[in-house]
Structure 1
Amino acid sequence: MGWNSLQLLPFHRLVAHSASVENPEPSRYHTKPAMWEQQILRVVDVVLDLALDQLRAPTSKPDLLRTESNEHSQRQCKGCDGVCELLRWGEVQRRRDSAYQGCSPPRMIHNSYLELDLCARVSGCDTCRMFRRAFLLEQITGHGAESLEHPDNQWPIYAILNLRSFGDSALLLAVRSPDDTPFSATIHLSQKPRPRPQNPTRRLPGLRSDLEQLRQVIDDCRHNHGCSSRHRWSHRNPTWLLKILPGNCAQLVEGPQWPVDYVVLSYSWGDPATMPPAEWARIKGAGTKTIGGRPVPERLSPFLVWELPETMQDAIMLAASLGYSYIWIDNVCIPKGTNWDTEAALMHEVYGNAAFTLVASSSTKATDPLIHDRLAWTHRSKACKLRGLWLHHAPVSLDRVRFESPVSQRAWTLQEERLSPRILYWASQRWYWSCAERQVVEMDELQCTAPAADEPPQSCPQRFLELCHTGDEEQLHEEWLDIVEAYTRRDLVEPKDRFLALSGLAVRFYNAKAANGGAAITEDYLAGLWKDNFARHLAWAVTRAVDAGPNLQHIAPSWSWASLPLRVRTRARFPFQPSDHFKFIAVEHIETPCTDIHPGESKQPTATPENTAVDLITRGRAVELRGRGVKVVAVQGRFRRFISEDAREVAWEAIERRRGDRRSFDFGGFPGQHIYARHRADGRILARDAHCGEVVGQLDYMAPSRGGEDDKDAPPRRAPYLPEGAEKELVCLELGESAMLLLVQDRERAQPESYRRVGVAIGYGSTRKGFFYGCETKTIHLV
């Protein structure tokens, strides 16, 4: 059997009342080596599965499954009569007030998801079929779709009508409770019909994926877009590639000297703390071992792909089905013992030169299948109408797939996405395509028009590459801050890889600046920040103070976001006007020596006029390697105390007032007094001089309670947090017109005027714009 004839989805269910099973062709339905007769046995298993579904269905209210034709000649069950009652409620509200907006009381429409599924499959209710599809399309991963049917997740399904003051209204569907739901979906209501999504296959919907549309999208990008010409870094291939062979085999080969089309896999290994040790050992064991610096013969010879974890198996099958002969998978194609520093710094080449990057959005870990049953498409698409309103499920946005899939929680995958000119996101029920010129979702095309007023703008994964190409320096720095926000919330198996997992982006950023500035470039990489806009990069903030225990200040200095613990939400993008008084002076200390750069490690060891990219890569790698070790920098700026020496501490509750979601301060109880307050739970700290406006800062870490063990083990001046009772030791350095660093002196260092960051204050221009008027300008060392 040839790889190109491979079908991607196995039989799992027999489609009842909507499709008939045809005799399967052996070459079309194999997903793994098996005789076609075995598929017939699977069909028998499907029939039994269907019978079991009916037995599992709740029987407390069987009348909800009874259907009849409505005024639009559609099948409608008794459960969906409740939806019509909600629509009548909405009609009454709009007759009373045409501008009415609000939500109806919740209405139960089915006793469980299994009952909804049974109604869609057996009763043929058109509305329930749409509701079922909406629930399934909301599940990005295969586990999410499977969990809908789990016996422990069978709670009532509620519907709520949301009437908006403008535009179409919507039905909000929730499992278990409208206020606390594990599964939800949105159904839009419109006066006009919208185009129905196509069906994923011509003969048997839901059982397999038809790749014809995807091939057309890929070919269109290849032949009609400028993605490759703009963003392909070079014609070099990765050092090692997996070559896909017939007979379900693959072979590790050296990247050919001529350019080849290859696919790159971006996936999540999984969390070793949440899986059995044997499963994690299997994932780690898939890595290519070496003997004498060369991969072992078992990998240099053809081997069965079933030896690899499931996500890798399915990725190889998918690449082969799309006509590609090579794939790059990090765990296999970076042999153990390889210089990780060298390989990580070349990721902008590996991903930039690929035909496309395959993002395994449907997998939670490497041992999960990438390809799942596409249950959302069991029934063919059909227009649905209730009480004169057309129903259609809300599209799952590309942003949701990007930011909510398990692969987005892994730090390494951030640069894999941002460095890829073309990306295929493979979710459990459909695929999404993104390149610099077009975004497509299977059976539909993402709208390129401006979003509605109440919807966020659609983001573009290729924005970083586009800005590197155009050389827009200001926007490029803003994009780096966006990268910081996305990176700090992610996880790493090894915290020591904090900088390594970002090194490809840093090299690409530097190369974008170097290509414009040439030899005169002044940019420098400083522990995750950039020198040319250093004040702006220093002004990052945590959204709320975090536990200081797992901080990474042994890896990065206190002034770098890289010193924060893993999985912390930060804010780095906001309006910023630099101060004329702030100045970067010099790098004072690099703690660890950097490894030497050996151009000979690359296939083209020296730069030539025909290939200047080699020199840029070498320079970029040197800058990035040096930047990881920067620990102390000297800066100059206006400097003062944050809290007056004679200020009085007051309780936070005594000054903060809440009016709904709004917060404000009332200092009426402390007229003419210098005061300060600290919020112990979220790390906010306030300073107010008598007859002046207040400044509110955000501390990076929460302090342990007074007398706690942490206070005994670590002297206050060395703690990464600001100890309770030490608030008056805070000093501040002006970064911008409404931005300052909050610092404490580091008395352990012999170097005078050394300070550690403990927080930041941003956006106080409306309350205390003149906070630094008349203050001295001072040179200090940030450690």
Structure 2
Amino acid sequence: MSLTQTMMLSPQQWSLNDFSRTRPNEYCQRQCRGCREICELLRWGEVQRRRDSAYQGSSPSRIMHSNYLELDLCAGVSGCDTCRIIRRAFLLEQITGGDAERLEYPTNQWPICAVLRLASSGDSQLLLAIKSPHATLFSAAVQLSDEPRPVLRDATRGGAGLRSDLGELCRVIHDCHNNHECSSRYRWSRRNPTWLLKILPDHHAQLTEGPATPVDYVVLSYSWGDPATMPAAEWAKIKSAGTKTINGRPVPERLRRFSTWELPETMQDAIAVTAALGFSYIWIDNICIPKGTNWDTEAARMHEVYGNAAFTLVASSSSKATDNLLHDRLAWTHRNKACKLRGMWLQNTQMPLDQVRLQSPVSQRAWTLQEERLSPRTLYWSGQRWYWSCAERQVVELGDMECQPSTGESITRSCPQRFLELCRTGDEHQLHDEWLDIVEAYTPRDLVAAKDRFLAIAGLAVRFYNAKADNGGAMITEEYLAGLWKDNFARHLAWSVESAANAGQSLQHIAPSWSWMSLPLQVNTRTKHAFKQSEHFQFVSVVHIDTPHHHHTGSPTDTDSEKVMVANFVNRGQAVEERGRDVKVVQVQGRFRRFIAGNGREVSWRSIEWKRGSRLSFDFGAFPDEHIYARNKADGRIMSRDAHSGEVVGQLDYLAPSDDHHPVPLDDGRPKTRPTPAVLDGEEKALVCLELGESAMLLLMPSRKPGYPDSYTRVGVAIGYGNRKGFFYGCETRRVYLC
């Protein structure tokens, strides 16, 4: 039966298409009818290899089971060894416990398709997918090998509970604390958090002040969830778990012994895991930062809270705080056993740590980025297995991962501890690269409250600054400027959006236009590209800081700087971060010119776009001797070309509003302060540009901010205009205000 015919069957008809009848094969293994479909794929692969030993390609698709429930039944009742491996492959691809349960949903019962992929190296892989008529719902892979590989040790099986070999995990943690340099390298101070949750017997706990001497405590990193997508009662439960205060002190109910059953499920299970691993203290933000506490101050101390912890427990298996952290580990229901078909050994693969890090629900929340990057040791708890990562080793439950002890070499970029390692070594160039990587990872994430945009990254900013000031009381030139850094300001200004954002969601009431902090939440950005600063660009000064608790109206005075530099080392970075989040106006100097010629003519994007397969370019044959410009209304790209010259393509930060409204001119003909961060239709000729690097420029619109003549608002950027390297030749150098 073809794939199309099978997918047209109803769920009631699938049972007639019985793939689960088993019989022993030549290796004395139970083999179902569905396995014979896989054998047909292997036979196809043998034919290709005989014709060409370096053949590379994929086989036609074959159906090996009608749906996942049939596969599950075949693995459990029929005892088919191949189906047990394929079932486990699907389960191991599910990061959360809820994702694993989704495999059994009635609406997800569609055919399981198999494809054999051959690589020119000789490797082969079985690619599996559960496909509805409209989409691929689940996918997995099984590795094929000519030689047998060691069979994974069996995980502890059973019903509810931890269902994990915690003895193995305890040994990994013990090995790190006793034999690695993680603590001596990355511990920030000897100070405990202000408040800790002390774990008591019989599912009880008690909020206590952090002891005067260091104690081993675990930190929980988790997602509260999105209140817009969960029942009101669940959000109320999460909020009510917060510790209330009376006269600045936690309420007596929390300072006394209380039941952990009162807390949301993720917190309950995190406390259980922490206790089972032999630790007596845990720090959970919602409980250990009492309501009424100065949240700004606590947020800036996160580098200390996470840096001093025994490890950070990342709740990768839950989507929100009311989900369980602990789930039935369905992947390990059946005993691990070697499996062979047509001379090929089948082996489950390990999900890479980066996939767990970057695709779990917890990674979609803004607060959790700094929690991970500030943690010297991290335990990722997914639905089917745990992962451990420290600066010297990465381990997955039931076997080591590819990343082995570093033997003194620099840590690879995929390692979560790279930021801390660079802070320790003080490599300034790589540290700025890492900050730009942090920006790219941060901007797509979501926040419950957009006003927390600065606070959710404050700990990273404090740690970054102190890494550059680690020579004690020495004066340094670095300043934190609304998410950017002064010592490499031109490069930090050259961020761009992947596609223009909705101007109506701009956060320019929180941050200035030149900072990526002013973008809407959940916008993908690009920060890393070849960059060489223009010799004409110069950062001049911070001009305006808009804050209720800092009253600077210009650049800091020598006295101000001295006060900052003689402050306690731990608090110095915090003071710099608090000041930096309130910077609104800066003055810079660079070469300056119009982006579009005054007599430029607008043409449609479609009239100049040139496509040949996957190759995209421009065709100016219809306009050889004209100054022209064009704007792509779908993604915000804008192109300017002078006659007989190369083109420059920029990326606008925002799409033009659909209900365009133009600014009302003042008496002198100048526009008022811009009512929108977008370039409105018809305003393109007002665009000017400021050179940042040899092939990077800011796109600006006049701001006319009161009190700041020659002030401009950022509206976009142009990067990599190799067709027009001389764009700024002979242009004037000006000092302008960026607002």
- TM-score relative to the length of structure 2: 0.92
CA contact (8 A) 2:473 2:566 kept: no
1:458, 1:466 → 2: CA distance?
11
- Whether 1:740 aligns to 2:727 is no
Instruction: Tell me by how many angstroms 1:239 deviates.
Output: 0.4
Q: Deviations over 1:661-681 (max 9, x none)?
A: 221222222212222111110
Match of 2:726 among 754, 758, 770: 770
CA gap of 1:206–1:346, structure 2 versus 1, over 3 A, is: closer
1:105-155 superposed Cα distances (whole Å, 9 cap, x missing partner): 221111110000000001111111111001001100011001111112111
1:245 to 196, 200, 209: 200
Relative to structure 1, the CA distance from residue 61 to residue 81 in structure 2 (aligned partners, 3 Å threshold; closer, same or farther) is farther
SS class of match (2:511):
coil
Asked if structure 1 preserves the Cα contact closer than 8 Å seen for 2:196 and 2:283, the reply is yes
Aligned counterpart, 1:623: 576
Q: Tell me, what secondary structure is at the counterpart of 1:744?
A: strand
Q: Deviations over 1:663-710 (max 9, x none)?
A: 1222222212222111110111111112211111111111123x5479
One-letter amino acid of the structure 2 residue matched with residue 166 of structure 1 = S
Q: Which amino acid aligns with 1:171?
A: L
Q: How far apart are residue 315 of structure 1 and its match? A: 0.5
**Pairing partner for 2:290 from 317, 332, 335:** 335
C-alpha separation in 2, matches of 1:613 and 1:671: 63
Query: 1:320 Cα deviation (Å)?
Result: 0.3
2:171 matched residue in structure 1: 216
2:677 counterpart residue number = 720
**Aligned-pair distance for 1:206?**
11
Cα distance in 2 for partners of 1:754, 1:533 equals 22
1:161 corresponding residue in structure 2:
116
Shift of 1:67: 0.9
Shift of residue 716, structure 1, vs aligned partner:
8.9
Give the counterpart of 1:406 among 339, 361, 379: 361
Q: In structure 2, how many angstroms separate the alpha carbons of the residues matched to 1:550 and 1:712?
A: 23
Match of 1:495 among 429, 433, 450: 450
Match of 1:702 among 655, 673, 684: 655
Deviation at 1:522, TM superposition (A): 0.7
2:496 and 2:308 map into 1 onto residues whose CA distance is 35
Which amino acid is 1:729 matched to? A
Q: What per-residue deviation string (whole Å, max 9, x for no partner) do you get for residues 287-331 of structure 1?
A: 000011110010000001101110000000100000000000000
**Are 1:552 and 1:564, in contact at CA under 8 Å, matched by a contact in 2?**
yes
Give 2:560's aligned residue.
Answer: none
Is the 8 Å Cα contact of residues 636 and 777 (structure 1) preserved in structure 2?
yes
SS of 1:99's equivalent? coil
Answering whether residue 711 of structure 2 is matched by residue 754 of structure 1, we say: yes
Residue 39 of structure 1 corresponds to none
Query: For residues 376 and 205 of structure 1, do their structure 2 counterparts lie closer, same or farther at Cα, with a shift above 3 Å needed?
Result: farther
Distance 1:458 1:533, change over 3 A: closer
Other-structure match for 2:618: 665
Contact (CA 8 Å) 2:672, 2:704: kept in 1 or not?
no
Matched, 1:590 2:545: yes
Return closer, same or farther for 1:673/1:194 CA change in 2, 3 Å cut-off. farther
Match of 2:559 in 1: none
Residues of 2 paired with 1:438 and 1:320: CA distance? 24
Equivalent residue in structure 2 for 1:73, among 23, 28, 31: 28
| 2:660–2:680 contact (8 Å) kept in structure 1 | no
- Give, in whole Å, the separation in 1 of the partners of 2:475 and 2:707: 35
Deviation of 1:523 (Å): 0.5
Structure 1 residues 372 and 767, CA gap change in structure 2 (3 angstroms): same
Deviations 1:598-622 (A, max 9, x none): xxxxxxxxxxxxxx99812221111
Q: Aligned in 2, Cα 1:311/1:93: closer, same or farther, shift over 3 Å?
A: same
**1:653 is aligned with what amino acid?**
R
Are positions 1:558 and 2:516 aligned together? no
- Structure 1 position 654, deviation (Å): 1.6
When the two structures are aligned, how many residues end up with a matched partner?
A: 707
Given that 1:199 and 1:205 are in contact with CA atoms closer than 8 Å, whether structure 2 keeps it comes out as no
Local SS of the residue matching 1:400: helix
CA distance 1:391–1:712, change in 2 (3 Å): farther
1:151 to 1:515, Cα distance in 2 relative to 1, 3 A: same
Tell me how far 1:177 sits from its aligned partner: 4.4
* CA 167–473 in structure 1, closer or farther in 2 if over 3 Å, else same: farther
Mark the CA change 1:716 to 1:294 in structure 2 (over 3 Å): closer, same or farther. closer
Q: Is the 2:394–2:404 contact (alpha carbons within 8 Å) kept by the matching residues of 1?
A: no
Aligned counterparts of 1:613 and 1:440: Cα–Cα separation in 2:
43
**Cα distance between partner residues in 1 of 2:86 and 2:365:** 32
Query: Mapping of 1:97-176 within 5 angstroms?
Result: 97-176=52-131
In the alignment, which residue of structure 1 is the partner of 2:607? 654
Change beyond 3 A, Cα 1:435–1:229: same
Distance 1:416 1:207, change over 3 A: closer
Matches within 5 A, 1:256-295: 256-295=211-250
C-alpha separation in 1, matches of 2:36 and 2:162: 31
Q: Distance in 2 between matches of 1:236 and 1:613?
A: 21
- C-alpha separation in 2, matches of 1:592 and 1:653: 46
Listed one character per residue, the Cα deviations across residues 520-574 of structure 1 (whole Å, up to 9, x for unaligned) are 1110000000000000100101011111111100000000000000011101111
Code of the residue aligned with 2:336 in structure 1: it is S
State the SS of the aligned residue for 1:65. Answer: coil
Bigger mean CA offset, 510-519 vs 351-360: 510-519
1:512 equivalent among 460, 464, 467: 467
**Matches of 1:711 and 1:66 in 2, distance apart?**
74
Partners in 1 of 2:257 and 2:251 — Cα distance? 12
> SS at 1:361's partner residue?
coil
The DSSP-based 3-state class of the residue aligned with 1:143 is helix
Shift of 1:200: 1.4
Amino acid at match of 1:90: G
Three-state SS of the structure 2 residue aligned to 1:562 is: helix
Give the C-alpha shift of residue 767 in structure 1. 1.4
Overall identity of the aligned pairs, in %: 70
Q: Within 5 A, what are the aligned runs for 1:15-34?
A: none
Find the partner of 1:674 among 627, 631, 639.
627
CA shift for structure 1 position 205 = 12
Q: Offset of 1:90 from its aligned partner?
A: 2.4
* Compared CA separation, residues 426 and 174, structure 1 to 2 (3 A): same
Match of 1:32 in 2: none
Trace 1:566-585 onto structure 2 (pairs within 5 A).
566-585=521-540
Q: What is residue 306 of structure 1 aligned with on the other side? A: 261
Separation in structure 1 between the aligned mates of residue 162 and residue 290 of structure 2, nearest angstrom? 37
The answer as to whether partners of 1:594 and 1:625 remain within 8 angstroms in 2 is no
Identify if the C-alpha distance between structure 1 residues 572 and 91 changes in structure 2 by more than 3 Å, giving closer, same or farther: same
Task: Call closer, same or farther: CA 1:94–1:710 in 2, change over 3 Å.
Answer: farther
Deviates more, 1:105-114 or 1:659-668: 659-668
Q: Deviations over 1:484-519 (max 9, x none)?
A: 011101111111011011111111111111114742
Letter in 2 for 1:629: D
Residue identity opposite 1:468 in structure 2: C
The one-letter code matched in structure 2 to 1:754 is S
- Which residue in 2 is equivalent to 1:20? none
Q: Which runs of 5+ in 2 are unaligned?
A: 1-10, 406-411, 552-564, 666-670
Query: For residues 208 and 478 of structure 2, what CA distance do their matches in structure 1 show?
Result: 38
1:428, CA displacement in angstroms? 0.3
Q: 1:525 to 1:317 in 2, by over 3 A?
A: same
Letter matched to residue 769 of structure 1: K
Counterparts of 1:386 and 1:465, CA distance in 2: 47
Aligned partners of 2:566, 2:121: CA distance in 1, in Å? 53
